[in-house]
Structures are given as C-alpha cells and as structure tokens.
Amino acid sequence: MGNYTQVDDMKLKSPIPELQGCDGFDCIEKYVNFDDGAFSWGQPAGDHGETNGVKWASYTLRMSSQAWMADETLKSAWTHRITIFVPETYQGGMKNSDVAALFIDQTVDTWAAQNMAVETGVVTASVSDVPNQDLTFPVTGHNLAEEDLKAWSWHKFVEDAEHPEWPLEMPDVKAVVRAMDAIAAYTHQGTLPKVNRFIVTGHSKRAMAAWMVGAVDKRVEAIVPLGMPLNLLQVGQEAAKDIGGIVPYSRPYLEYGDLNLTKEQVTKLAAINDPVHYIKRLTIPKLLILSGADDFFPPDCTRSWWGDLPKPKHIYVYGKGRHYGYDIKWNNGNKFLEVAGAFVSRIVYGDAMPEIAWKIDNQDGTIMVKQVSNHTPSAVRVFGAKTKDQGETRDFRNSDWMFYRFVKPTEQNDRIWLVKSPERVKWVGFFVAFEYEPVRPGGLPVRLTTEVSVTPSTRPFPDADGTLPEWQDVIDPPEDSFGLR
C-alpha cells in the first residue's frame, strides 16, 4: 500500500544537470520527469459518510511530491494530502469509468471534491498544499506565501539562469503530476475503481497548474481552470490602460522587480509559466470559469488569446464573484461546482457538450452567437454591468453584474442571436449566457457563456504601460456594494 517516507530537506545536485540548456516548455517536461528521489506515497486511511443523500467512501494518502530549491529554502520537501472519494453511484465498466476528477487545492479542505463526487457519480480526488507554503528563504528574512512567494520565485528565475525550476509554477505542476501517479498506483491495488485518466481543476495559481499539466501529461482528459486567463503580460497591460495603474495584488511583483523586466527576461519567463506560448498543445477539452468582477483581471481578459486556443473549448462567466473566495464553500452562489460538474459528467458518461461560437464586433461590441452543435438551449440570457465611477475608468472590480433580459434568436436564423450593448454609457460589460437541460435523469444543467464584450471599445488610459514606473501606482477597487457572493 505504497511506501510513504517523511522526507527531510534534501540536498540535490545544484544546478540540476538534466535541466541545463532547457528553454520554455522543454524545461517543464524535464523538471516534471526529473527523479529527485523525494516522491513517495502511502499511509492510507479510510472513511465514509453521506452528502446530499448519497453515501461515499474516502481514502486519504500522504504524499511527498518533490524537493524544490533545497539550497535556497528552509523547507524544500513538498508534502501533500490526497483524498479520493468514491460515491455509491459510481458506475464501473463504462468506456470512461477510469477517469477521475482531480481538484488542485490550496488547503486540506475537501468539500469541493466530496460534492463533485456525489453530484456526478464520478470518482473524485483532491491534492492539498499546492503550492507548499509558507516557505522561508533566509536571504529574504520572511515567510512567503501566495503572491509574495510567486513574485519572489519569478525574481530568482531572472537572477539565476542556472535554475530554470525557480518559477513557482514548475513545482506546482510537478506536484499535480505526482498526485496523479499516486492515485493511479493506489487505485490499481485492491478493489477500488482503477483510475488511469484525469479531469483536472483548480483556482488561481492552481488553475495555472491545471492549464500547464493539461499540456504536459497525456493522462489529462480535460481541464477546468477557475479564475486564470492566459497571455498574462498582455492582460496586465490592458488592465493598466483600464485603471491607470496596477491592482493591489500586484504589489509583490512591483517590490521584487517583476514589473520592470526587460523584454528578453519577460519572454524567457513567460515561455515557461504562460501556456499561451505553447497553446497549440492544449487540444484536450477545456472549460474556463471566470468572474466579471475579478480583483485581478478585467472581465474581457480572454480577448487577446481565446481565438488561438484549440477546440474543444468553453467559457462560463459569473458576474458577482471576487478572485479570492470564488471557489470556497460558502460562496457557491456562482454555481461553479454545478457548472464544472456538468462538464465532468458529459465527458465521463460520453454525452456531447453543447458548442456555441461567437464574434464580438470591434467597433460597437455587438455579440453574434451561433448554436453550432445539435443542441437547443432552454434559456438564453444577457447579463451585464456598468463601471462605478461614472466613466472615469474602465474598472469592473466589485461591479454589480445583473440579469438584463432573455433574448430570442434572429428572425432569419433560429440558431443565431445578435446582442447589442444593453446601455450606451462608459463603460458597460456584457455577455450572453446559454443553459441546457440535463440529458440524464437527476443530472446537472449545462451552463455556458460567451466572452465578455465591453463598450465603448476605447480605453481611458491608452498610453499606460504597466512596466513603466509612472504607471505603477496601486489603484484600489471601487467600493464594494455586494460583498462576497
């Protein structure tokens, strides 16, 4: 039943010979495949319970995924808890019954995995502590977590070219791959449903890990990233032109100099940690879930890269949700778990996902949507929001997204919808939402949306450049009138 060993901090060959001379995606593959001797799993512990009337059994493992930057940090050994949920409604013997959903989690809270399992009947697992944090780097004198940890890792990558494993996204991805290794090995023992393939989901930094693991590991059948677009440099520049500065969460990147890198430095870093640079590898099914009121990113953060992303691909935008807290238990009004669960169910049970395609007019923002697949939506709605500062900025943080109206297809074609901006003021964001009835009794409805269109198409700070000091003032968001929802 595995051979989990508590790994003390290890001293490895530094720099890692296998990584020398790598560049971009090649670095990710080499780091993930590099055996540092730290991987182990074991100490299984069972449990059982009932959620929403469905009984389940769970199996928890301890895992050590790797030793990261042993010469630089006081804690190089990354440890995790893996919990696997098997619902009583699981159906074996199907074509895709070896597919499990995998949540990449920041903490050991397994509520999302547990609820996904009972709502879908799919084996669902979670891996905790991605990334491991807080981490202490003696040279900084601080314990670092989240944005500070990631910003420091970027800074060190630029400073230390011999260690391409510095970007935090690298150990994040390796942790997910090792979790898949452990889950597959454990479930192939005894009488558990055997898991060989995965649908991977995570939020924020964990979403970036989902994007990246979808490109690097062939066992990944699909991904559901939450709250994380691609093409981050371009998205950041667009945000600066929207608000005239940087968001508060960018402070660590400013402090460590990540916002003032040369073009060559940015390109070298992004070639590893931004999948837009290897976007053609992302051929698996994808469901991107975003919030229109995100604290980090503008609501139309997909416009510069979505067209380059290979199919199959889908978006679900929920208006009233901040970046942090979007995926937590008491904030499920955004229905992200239902939306993700419907996607997971369609893949595992072999039911085709509805497909819509759209174009957004670059001048007036009109959205033209076409129902591409042979599905008929049960409802088509328009949602939108206005900025709160009477047109001074294009800042949708904390904006009040609301339902505007139902919309009917055009008279000429009942598979096409034309939707204009619901208001003629600065600035308005809107999107079109489609809902489809479940195909199986007791199943989940499918919810999809278009990208967000923002009108007018101008930006209030067209000369802003987030890489220049004069445009690096921290701009606080407008007053929050709706709170965490």
Asked if 235 and 298 count as a contact pair (C-beta separation under 8 A), the reply is yes
Question: Strands 416-419, 402-406: parallel, antiparallel or unpaired by DSSP?
Answer: unpaired
CA distance 418 to 410: 7
Residue corresponding to tokens 């558990």: 192
How many angstroms from the chain centroid is the CA of residue 451? 16
> How many CB atoms sit inside 10 A of residue 13's CB?
9
CA distance 199 to 197: 7
Asked if 195 and 150 count as a contact pair (C-beta separation under 8 A), the reply is no
pLDDT of residue 94: 87
What residues does 55 pair with on adjacent strands?
A: 50
Q: What DSSP designation does 155 have?
A: H
pLDDT of residue 249: 92
pLDDT of residue 484: 36
pLDDT of residue 173: 99
Asked if 42 and 61 count as a contact pair (C-beta separation under 8 A), the reply is yes
Q: Which long-range contacts (CB under 8 A, 24 or more apart) does 155-160 make?
A: 155/256, 155/257, 155/258, 156/72, 157/269, 158/257, 158/258, 158/261, 158/265, 158/268, 158/269
CA distance 58 to 434: 35
The radius of gyration computed from the CA coordinates of the chain, to the nearest angstrom, equals 22
Q: Is 313 left (phi over 0), alpha (psi -120 to 50) or beta?
A: beta
What residues does 369 pair with on adjacent strands?
A: 358, 417
Over the chain (485 residues), what is each successive 10-residue block's mean pLDDT? 58 76 96 96 94 96 96 92 98 93 93 94 98 92 92 94 94 99 96 97 96 99 97 96 95 93 94 98 98 94 98 93 65 75 96 98 97 98 93 92 95 95 93 95 94 97 94 89 42
What residues does 430 pair with on adjacent strands?
A: 384, 453
CA distance 327 to 208: 15
pLDDT of residue 483: 42
CA distance 431 to 316: 10
CA 323, 327, 328, 333 torsion-angle sign:
positive
Asked if 445 and 217 count as a contact pair (C-beta separation under 8 A), the reply is no
Residue whose C-alpha is closest to residue 120's, from 335, 354, 343, 350: 343
CA 108, 114, 120, 125 torsion-angle sign:
positive
Rounded alpha-carbon distances, angstroms, from residue 225 to 69, 184, 336: 27, 22, 11
